[in-house]
Amino acid sequence: MRVSQYPLATLKETPADAEVISHQLLLRGGYIRRLASGLYTWMPIGLRVLRKAEAVVRAEMDRAGALEVLMPAVQPAELWQESGRWEQYGPELLRLKDRHQREFCFGPTHEEIITDLVRREVRSYRQLPVNYYQIQTKFRDEVRPRFGLMRAREFLMKDAYSFHGSPESLHETYEAMYETYSRIFTRLGLNFRAVQADTGSIGGSASHEFHVLANSGEDTLAVSDQSDYAANIELAEAVAPAAPRAAPAEEMRLVDTPDARTIQELVEQFGLPIEKTVKTLIVHGASDDAPLVALLVRGDHELNAVKAAKLPEVADPLVFAGEDEIRAAIGAGPGSLGPVNLPLPMIADRAVAAMSDFGAGANIDGKHHFGINWERDVALPQVADVRNVVEGDPSPDGRGRLRLVRGIEVGHVFKLGTKYSQAMKATYLDEQGREQVMVMGCYGIGVSRVVAAAIEQNHDERGIAWPAALAPFDVALVPIGMHRSQRLREAIEKLYADLTAAGFAVLFDDRDARPGVMFADMELIGIPHRVVLSERGLDAGEVEYKGRRDDAATQVPLAEIDAFLRQRMGD
RNA sequence: CGGAGUGUAGCUCAGCCUGGUAGAGCACCGCUUUCGGGAGGCGGGGGUCGUAGGUUCGAAUCCUAUCACUCCGACCA
């Protein structure tokens, strides 16, 4: 491709509304343009990258025996009503009406559609298992679209759905998809990690997320330093302290703490170690009998909302009580709450249950109790794991300690079980002719997000440094002084033709621009290999080669550049 | 949705407080000079200052409403 016929819409300055590096570089490199919040146009060069990501996903899905289909993006409301998600899904579902006032939605995911298809097509156990996938545009009316392609409203997703006659069969496909995902992200050249995950609103029994590791990631992952344990922090278990609770050493006393409304202030003003304090968080309960529930977490720990919402006593999703509600129920404000004399059901974190001689609010404004001990001063309530793990916590598998890293979720595999097949009556006849409900799995990859994630992981101060599998072009061909030298023009035209014929995707910068401009553009857009030809080089029979990540250029005989590139790309 | 902020040329922004002829850099067009790391000179095109009202002799500037966008929180590929 000639740059003169393939305009590079590169920007020297960073658009003000782009926050993360991938968004900035995608805009600056002319890969995408914004239409509206969370909506982007893929420019020609950007589409090349997207298609390459798609190609790897498609090849590996096919290899795993999945069958590609293409379902409509617009879906009738009836199917969503049947699964119950028309009501559940909320405002994230873009709802539409046609000219007859019939209701539709723009698909954010396709469980209902595929389940409807399969229940019509599959009658016999002989037709199972099946695994259908598609690569298609989804729309989710995100509460807060941001970070460019990373959290767009419209995005390209590969979604696959498998149907089975037994949980064992589902497990086989689940494992196969897990392997396939690992192959896909490896081929794409990404540094990734599969982690145990919460099943969230889609439901189901088991799930793993695939994360590209990057500091800009929105998720926190807990990984063991001595085993392969890895989990999203939402799910990572905080194990109970090994040491038994120490015996009381202090008397409980009531202390005036008029200026300490937060744990931080308490620690600063009274010299109390933060591990000797307890936070009392009031949340809405799950039943009218107990409209408010108190969750107790050690002062230096953080409440895990996902874990808390799963407790039967707690409302799901988690809702914090307002100050007015708290005052009405307890008679004291949020800054002075504690377990002693608390007229609410309590649930203590495992770490809290192991504490002794600790400080907490006295449920009287401006007063705290210090030296509190369980059983002696207040009965130990129900104990549960309700906190986020922290760096250095023991790994739940008993091997090693946890480290926390950041990740961008690019893939997710679920065992759905019978959630949709039951609701939508997707059944088949087994060997005995009995009607059975199908067992389902589903498997997603955010294809457009993969593009952004790849940049987050592969860039430097000059721009993008694409992994080979995603690069829009393999080779940037840059002539120096071509517009002043007929001899050079002929030589480089021949080199361009030869390299293209040899199968390389070459971007030939035939602009009448200064070398610095061409170099800067090629590095910004991230072409992995650069070949420079000048008159000087022509005289010496050499071209200059530089890999996008190399520190220095090397001279290569003109006649050998083809083999040299081939060897470099084989690295 | 709650909180914070921003809308002025394709991009980055100044001007607004204190109302009086709409600006700079980059980009773009022409000429020129230069030619291995986003050069320089001369000339040029381009904005009803987000939109709609209001105050005023006069509004980018003050007031009101409205729309859009960004950031911080709960969601997800």
Query: Do residues A230 and A193 touch, judged by C-beta distance below 8 A?
Result: yes
- Averaged pLDDT for residues A490-517: 95
Structure token pair of residue A222: 């807990």
Of A119, A116, A130, residue with least CA distance to A169: A130
Total length of chain A: 571
Question: How far does the CA of A552 sit from the C1' of B40, in Å?
Answer: 29
- Looking across all nucleic acid strands, the nucleotide with the smallest C1' to CA distance from residue A149 is B77
**Cα A124 from chain centroid (whole Å):** 37
Structure token pair of residue A48: 């090349």
Structure token pair of residue A148: 């460019």
Of A214, A213, A204, A209, residue with least CA distance to A234: A209
The pLDDT confidence band at residue A144, using thresholds 50, 70 and 90, is: confident
β-pairing, A475-480 vs A529-534, is parallel
Of A74, A140, A137, A28, residue with least CA distance to A461: A28
- Looking across all nucleic acid strands, the nucleotide with the smallest C1' to CA distance from residue A138 is B77
| Whole-prediction pTM | 0.92
3-state secondary structure A361-415: EEEECCEEEEEECECCCECCCEEECCECCCCCCECCCCCCEEEEEEEEEEEEEEE
- d(CA A414, CA A206) in angstroms, rounded, equals 6
CA distances from A372 to A183, A243, A341, A355 (A): 54, 19, 12, 9
Q: What does the pLDDT look like over A119-128, one tens digit per residue?
A: 999 999 999 9
Beta-carbon contacts of A240 under 8 Å, excluding residues fewer than 6 positions away, are A350, A351, A353, A354
Question: How far does the CA of A36 sit from the C1' of B51, in Å?
Answer: 17
- d(CA A417, CA A268) in angstroms, rounded, equals 51
- Work out the mean pLDDT of chain A and round it to a whole number: 93
- Averaged pLDDT for residues A500-525: 95
- Looking across all nucleic acid strands, the nucleotide with the smallest C1' to CA distance from residue A317 is B74
pLDDT of A542 above 60: yes
- d(CA A282, CA A174) in angstroms, rounded, equals 39
Q: What does the pLDDT look like over A183-233, one tens digit per residue?
A: 999 999 999 999 998 876 555 678 999 999 998 888 999 999 999 999 999
C-alpha neighbours within 13 Å on the C-beta side of residue A344: 32
Looking at residue A201, its pLDDT comes to 56
**C-alpha angle A123-A84-A417 in degrees, rounded to nearest 5:** 50
Question: How far does the CA of A12 sit from the C1' of B21, in Å?
Answer: 33
- Looking across all nucleic acid strands, the nucleotide with the smallest C1' to CA distance from residue A232 is B76
Q: Which residue minimizes Cα–C1' distance to B69?
A: A37
Query: Do residues A54 and A135 touch, judged by C-beta distance below 8 A?
Result: yes
- Looking across all nucleic acid strands, the nucleotide with the smallest C1' to CA distance from residue A158 is B77
Residue written as token pair 């209701």: A103
C-alpha neighbours within 13 Å on the C-beta side of residue A105: 25
- d(CA A439, CA A421) in angstroms, rounded, equals 7
ipTM: 0.91
- Looking across all nucleic acid strands, the nucleotide with the smallest C1' to CA distance from residue A159 is B77
Looking at residue A379, its pLDDT comes to 94
Query: Do residues A79 and A116 touch, judged by C-beta distance below 8 A?
Result: yes
- Averaged pLDDT for residues A394-416: 94
Q: Which nucleotides of B are covered by protein (CB under 7 A)?
A: 1, 11-13, 25-27, 34-39, 68-77
Question: How far does the CA of A491 sit from the C1' of B39, in Å?
Answer: 27
Question: How far does the CA of A482 sit from the C1' of B32, in Å?
Answer: 20
Q: What does the pLDDT look like over A48-89, one tens digit per residue?
A: 999 999 999 999 999 999 999 999 999 999 999 999 999 888
Question: How far does the CA of A475 sit from the C1' of B39, in Å?
Answer: 27
CA distances from A240 to A356, A386, A395 (A): 15, 11, 11
Q: Which residue minimizes Cα–C1' distance to B77?
A: A446
β-pairing, A475-480 vs A506-508, is parallel
Which bin fits A184, alpha (ψ -120 to 50), beta or left (φ > 0)?
alpha
Query: Do residues A544 and A553 touch, judged by C-beta distance below 8 A?
Result: yes
E-strand ranges in A78-191 read: 94-97, 103-106, 130-139, 154-164
Q: What does the pLDDT look like over A425-445, one tens digit per residue?
A: 999 999 999 999 999 999 999
CA distances from A168 to A93, A129, A273, A501 (A): 33, 11, 51, 50
- d(CA A94, CA A105) in angstroms, rounded, equals 5
β-pairing, A230-232 vs A219-224, is antiparallel
The most confident of A84-93, A178-187, A232-241, by mean pLDDT: A178-187
Question: How far does the CA of A318 sit from the C1' of B67, in Å?
Answer: 34
- d(CA A183, CA A190) in angstroms, rounded, equals 10
Beta-carbon contacts of A366 under 8 Å, excluding residues fewer than 6 positions away, are A256, A257, A258, A336
Q: What does the pLDDT look like over A345-390, one tens digit per residue?
A: 999 999 999 999 999 999 998 899 999 999 999 999 999 999 999 9
- d(CA A424, CA A405) in angstroms, rounded, equals 40
Question: How far does the CA of A217 sit from the C1' of B61, in Å?
Answer: 42
Query: Do residues A113 and A442 touch, judged by C-beta distance below 8 A?
Result: no
Looking at residue A491, its pLDDT comes to 95
- Looking across all nucleic acid strands, the nucleotide with the smallest C1' to CA distance from residue A11 is B11
Q: Calculate Rg over the CA atoms of chain A.
A: 30
Question: How far does the CA of A531 sit from the C1' of B30, in Å?
Answer: 33
- Looking across all nucleic acid strands, the nucleotide with the smallest C1' to CA distance from residue A483 is B35
Looking at residue A323, its pLDDT comes to 80
Question: How far does the CA of A481 sit from the C1' of B35, in Å?
Answer: 7
The pLDDT confidence band at residue A9, using thresholds 50, 70 and 90, is: confident
Q: What does the pLDDT look like over A297-353, one tens digit per residue?
A: 999 899 998 888 888 888 877 888 878 788 888 888 888 899 999 999 999 999 999
